[in-house]
Amino acid sequence: MYLRSCFLTFVCSLMLGLDGFAQQTAGLQIEASTSALLSSDEIRPLWLVANQWGRQAQFGQSGATAYGKAAWQGSPLAHLSLQAGVAGLYHNGEKGYLHEAYVAGRYRFIDFSAGKMAFLPNTINDSLTTGMYLGSSNAMPIPRLWLGIFDYTPLPFTNGWVEVRGAASHGWLDDDRTERGHQSVLLHEKFAYIRLGKTKVQPYVGLVHSALYGGEGIPADFWATFFGSGSEEVGGGEATNAAGAHMGLWHTGVTFSWGEWSNHVYFQVPFADGSGMYVNWGRNKDFITGWVLQRPGKQLFSSLAIELIRTDWQSGPGTPDPYDPVAQEGIWPGTIPNVQDFVAQRLPDMVDQAANWSEDDLYRYLRDRWNGGHFFGGRDDNMNNGMYYAGWTWQGMSFGTPMYHTADMAARFAPQWRLNNSVYFINTRVRAINLAASGWLMPQLRYRAKFTASRNYGAYGEEFLNRYSWVRTDGYYFEEAKNQFYNLVELEWMPARFAHWHLTTSLGYDAGDLYNAFGGVVTLAWRLN
């Protein structure tokens, strides 16, 4: 308690002394803030904590947070721009974090960054949308290296009609994952986009790839992970399957102007393996689509957003592969040397009917007899992985979409539910609609409002006893879909007489079949931009 009081006193004193320093800081950015949060439930209202780079903890009925950041940017050499920053975070009077520590910049058209930086190249207004499905601002910044072209750049010899961007990163998930699987997991992410330039309507298409690999006791095969291929170095199932854990995202959209409004319409298709990657097969029915509108000036409606989400299909409920009861493993397409011999050994009652079967005929029979007529290659279970139980989390929070619920959350909203503990994200099958707006009620008073309604179906990894079983888990919590609503109203006051001061009050209310929580955050901040 004494340390917390001293730290909060220091932050407040620093804030009070900064106004006189503001005129001497060319290229310098400074922020110091302190906040207090109250919640009626151990699970805090979603939009009070999500998509804020982990600056608010997920759980707890009350807590204080102190935050400070200093950053600099400039151009020390021709064609070179640099920025550097450091930030500290103190949560609930108990834990302190080095929130950011980075150096970043651009040389000509090449971008780079190194360290923990609250920046990602592909986000689409995380304050109004639910956040990028892969690579959101939900969790604390991950230590990583980035290299590439972050912004669209004209492709040579196209006279500016074609623009491209892309980059790759290497990250270290060195948080405490003792209870969630392997320690010291590595993160590989990359993206590539192309769009039409020199026109007012600019369509684009891109591909995003995220992979977990290596870790304590697991060989790190970078190139196999990079290309999503098998690895003899890792061995086991990874020799024939893609090494590591993989998630991907097709991302298409268009940007255009409409009167004073700038518009961004987007359509994203997430996938976890080949069965969901090839969208032209019609096997992937999941998507995130939205429309974000923005206009300059202090208008009543300065920004609007609508977003629809569906991630409940995940290649369907069929088992990942046909199952060989003798070998007790999945049957990979193209691995049966002789269909008739296979039938004679495992399906003797079908020998006569299978005399002229091809491998496709065999799979069709297995699908109808043991897979409920569903295609094989289902139960993708996005964001989860059998080898990496913690999945796409950092410090216990998703660094992808915040719409998914973890086992730690389930322990609070359904303590009676006995989990299989086969997956950490126990709810990844979600349908939702998100509506949001922000603007100005007065010249010094900004507001933000956000409403999200979701229907939650759980996760395949918890629904069935195992990946190849059709026996449902006893007492499965999401046997009936659960509805949940997330609401936020926020006011930010920037008094004219104190240009660098911001007072923000946020009220959140979550209600539904999962839990009910009402809460608020009051934040006092001093910012020099």
Q: What is the pLDDT of residues 515-528, one digit of tens each?
A: 999 999 999 999 99
Side chain identity, residue 276: G
Q: What per-residue confidence (pLDDT) applies to 93? A: 67
The yes-or-no verdict on residue 291 having pLDDT over 90 is yes
User: Which of 14 and 262 is assigned the larger pLDDT?
Assistant: 262
Across 174-190, average pLDDT: 86
The yes-or-no verdict on residue 328 having pLDDT over 70 is no
Across 502-508, average pLDDT: 98
The yes-or-no verdict on residue 224 having pLDDT over 90 is no
The contacts of residue 293 (CB under 8 Å, 6+ apart) are 258, 261, 262, 263, 264, 303, 304, 305
Distance CA 428, CA 383 (A): 8
Tokens of 206: 């891109």
User: Which of 277 and 392 is assigned the larger pLDDT?
Assistant: 392
User: Which of 443 and 320 is assigned the larger pLDDT?
Assistant: 443
- Average pLDDT over all residues of the chain: 89
Asked which of 98-112, 226-240, 419-433, 448-462 is least confident by mean pLDDT, the reply is 226-240
In this structure, whether the domain defined by 31-320+377-528 belongs to CATH 1.20.120.330 is answered with no
The yes-or-no verdict on residue 257 having pLDDT over 70 is yes
Contact 219, 230 (CB under 8 A): no
Structure confidence by residue, pLDDT tens digits, 409-458: 999 999 999 888 789 999 999 999 999 999 999 999 999 999 999 999 99
Q: What per-residue confidence (pLDDT) applies to 22? A: 47
Give, as one character, the DSSP assignment of residue 283: -
Contact 50, 402 (CB under 8 A): yes
Tokens of 245: 């854990």
Across 31-59, average pLDDT: 96
The yes-or-no verdict on residue 25 having pLDDT over 80 is no
Across 488-497, average pLDDT: 95
Contact 65, 90 (CB under 8 A): yes
Tokens of 104: 């970043």
Give, as one character, the DSSP assignment of residue 334: T
User: Which of 464 and 492 is assigned the larger pLDDT?
Assistant: 492
CB atoms within 10 A of CB 249: 22
Q: What per-residue confidence (pLDDT) applies to 57? A: 92
The yes-or-no verdict on residue 193 having pLDDT over 80 is yes
pTM (2 d.p.): 0.89
The yes-or-no verdict on residue 244 having pLDDT over 90 is no
Tokens of 448: 């933000």
The contacts of residue 260 (CB under 8 Å, 6+ apart) are 295, 296
The yes-or-no verdict on residue 10 having pLDDT over 60 is no
Distance CA 473, CA 417 (A): 11
User: What is the gyration radius of the CA atoms in the chain, in angstroms?
Assistant: 25
The yes-or-no verdict on residue 98 having pLDDT over 60 is yes
Tokens of 405: 């619920």
CA dist 336 to 240, 333, 359, 377, Å?
15, 7, 8, 17
Sequence spans of domains, the chain = 31-320+377-528, 321-376
Rounded percentage of the chain residues whose pLDDT exceeds 70: 89
The yes-or-no verdict on residue 81 having pLDDT over 90 is yes
* CA-angle at 193, arms to 187 and 197, nearest 5°: 155
Distance CA 344, CA 68 (A): 71
Distance CA 258, CA 201 (A): 10
Reported as a pLDDT band with limits 50, 70 and 90, residue 320 is confident
3-state secondary structure 436-447: EEEEEEECCEEE
Q: What per-residue confidence (pLDDT) applies to 19? A: 52
User: Which of 469 and 56 is assigned the larger pLDDT?
Assistant: 56
Give first-to-last CA distance, the chain, whole Å.
32
Sign of CA dihedral 92, 505, 137, 166: negative
Rounded percentage of the chain residues whose pLDDT exceeds 90: 64
CA dist 527 to 15, 173, 438, 499, 524, Å?
9, 30, 20, 9, 10
Q: What per-residue confidence (pLDDT) applies to 1? A: 47
User: Which of 392 and 348 is assigned the larger pLDDT?
Assistant: 392
Across 500-504, average pLDDT: 96
Across 135-156, average pLDDT: 96
